[in-house]
Chain A
Amino acid sequence: MLSLDWNLVFTIINVLIFYLLIKKFLFKPINKIVAEREKMINDQFTEAENKVKEAEELKAKYQESLNHAEEEGEAMMKESRGKAQDEYNDIIKAAHDRSTDILKRADEAAKEQKEKAVREVQNQIAELAIAAAAQVASMQTSSQKDGAVYDEFLSKVGENSDRAGK
């Protein structure tokens, strides 16, 4: 039992053959498959990472543009508000101007009217005076009649001034 013979060599050859067979049929294909799968998984991981990075970049970009848009909107709002304020001021000022103008004109018209009335009264007074003078001149002056003439004159003047005063 404890002796070596040719069986030893056969065993070596057998093991070597077995080694080659197992290498060709078991380990090579399976290792290949496993490596391929590993590669695929790694690829997917890198791809996913890239995608995440890309998405983050896009997000940042959008955020920025959003901020920008907000700022722009605010500026626009401010600008339009300023414009509206200006317009409002203009309108108010124009209205004010116009109203002062109208008032001034009304004032002037009233003044003119008054002056005109005064002038008329003066004219009438002058006329009366002339008439009175004519009457005095036309009449034979007598001391008796003097009183009557005064009375008449006075009453006429009073009537006229009353009328003019109105």
Chain B
Amino acid sequence: MAVFTLLCIVLVRNLSVNNPGKKQLLLETAVTSLNHMFEDMLGENGKDYVIYMSTVIIYIGISNIIGIFGFKPPTKDLNVTAALAIMSILLIEGAGVRAKGVKKWLHSFMEPIAVILPINILELFIRPLSLCMRLFGNVVGAFVVMKLIEKIVPVALPIPFSCYFDIFDGFIQAYVFVFLTSLFIKEQVE
């Protein structure tokens, strides 16, 4: 995290409007593509949450692929995923309150009919739990499988598996996490 922040500071230091260098172009492409991705997901009303979603996808993405460099991925710890999920649900409901006002937000639990009120309240806990457990399970599973493979054949064989479990699965899970969060936010703000 500190490394990433430092990298940001160094890269952002001398930006120019007229003649961007290669580094700046790359950075801009990355940032604008992230922005566009989340703007598409969040819709017109959810633009304020773009930066948070970008932060989370970068955080989870880095956390997941850090296993390549020999660190333990932080998302392997249930506390981290739980924290992220709690923040997500707080943000989702907060966005709902902000967009609709408290009364309407409370009323939205009884929509479309009052009977599903308990289900909607239950969803309040199920959503973060599923987010948390999905991420946690995937990362732990990938981590365990990788450790087993490394134990059996420590040379050469782990490379393709590492590509799949660390890079592909890591990014997929990061994407799924933010995708679901944005979907819920969009649902709330509309």
Interface residues of A (CB under 8 A from B): 1-5, 7-12, 14-15, 18-19, 21-23, 25-27, 29-31, 33-34, 36-37, 40
Q: Is the CB of A29 within 8 A of B78?
A: no
* B56 interfacial contact with A, CB 8 Å: yes
Chain A residues with Cβ under 8 A from B55's Cβ?
Answer: 15, 18-19, 22-23
B80 contacts the other chain (Cβ, under 8 Å)? yes
C-alpha spacing A40/B79, complex, angstroms:
46
**Which residue of the partner chain B has the closest CB to A33?**
B15
Contacts of B52 in A (CB 8 A): 19
List the B side residues contacting A3 at CB < 8 Å.
78
Q: Does B32 contact A (CB under 8 A)?
A: yes
Complex CA gap A114/B147 in Å reads 157
* B86–A27 touching, CB < 8 Å: no
Residues of chain B contacted by A40 (CB below 8 angstroms): 17-18
Question: Chain B residues with Cβ under 8 A from A21's Cβ?
Answer: 5, 8
Q: Which residues of A contact B78 (CB under 8 A)?
A: 1-4
In whole angstroms, how far apart are the Cα atoms of A9 and B17 in the complex? 40
CB contacts (< 8 Å) of A12 on chain B: these are: 83, 86-87
6 contacts between A and B (CB under 8 A): A4-B78, A11-B74, A11-B79, A23-B51, A26-B12, A27-B51
User: Are B28 and A8 in touch, CB under 8 angstroms?
Assistant: no
User: Which residues on A sit within 8 Å (CB–CB) of B28?
Assistant: 30, 33-34
Q: How far is the CA of A14 from the CA of B117 in the complex (A)?
A: 35
Chain B residue at minimum C-beta to C-beta distance from A35: B17
Smallest distance from the beta carbon of A36 to chain B beta carbons, Å? 5
Add 11 more A-B contacts to A25-B12, A33-B20 (CB < 8 A): A8-B86, A11-B79, A11-B84, A18-B59, A22-B51, A25-B8, A26-B27, A31-B35, A33-B16, A34-B31, A36-B17
Q: Looking at the complex, which one of A11, A23, A31 makes contact with B83 (CB distance below 8 Å)? A: A11
- Whether the Cβ atoms of A26 and B31 lie closer than 8 Å is yes
Verify if B54 is at the interface (C-beta below 8 Å from A).
Answer: yes
Contact code string B61-92 (vs A, CB < 8 Å = 1, else 0)? 00000000000001001111011101100000
Give the CA-CA distance A80 to B55 in the complex, in Å: 86
CB neighbours of B16 from chain A (8 A)? 33
User: In this assembly, does B9 line the interface, its C-beta being within 8 Å of a C-beta of chain A?
Assistant: yes
Cβ of B58 under 8 Å from chain A: yes
B9 A5 Cβ-Cβ under 8 A = no
* B152: interface (CB < 8 Å): no
Question: In the complex, what distance in Å separates the CA atom of A34 from the CA atom of B16?
Answer: 10
Q: A14 — which chain B residues lie within 8 A by C-beta?
A: 1
- Report chain A residues within 8 Å CB of B74: 11
Question: Which residues of A lie under 8 Å from residue B51 when comparing CB positions?
Answer: 19, 22-23, 27
User: Are B79 and A8 neighbours in the complex by a CB distance under 8 Å?
Assistant: yes
Residue of B nearest to A25 (CB): B8
A29→B80 contact, CB < 8 A: no
Q: Which interface residue of B51, B52, B54 has the most chain A CB atoms within 10 A? A: B51
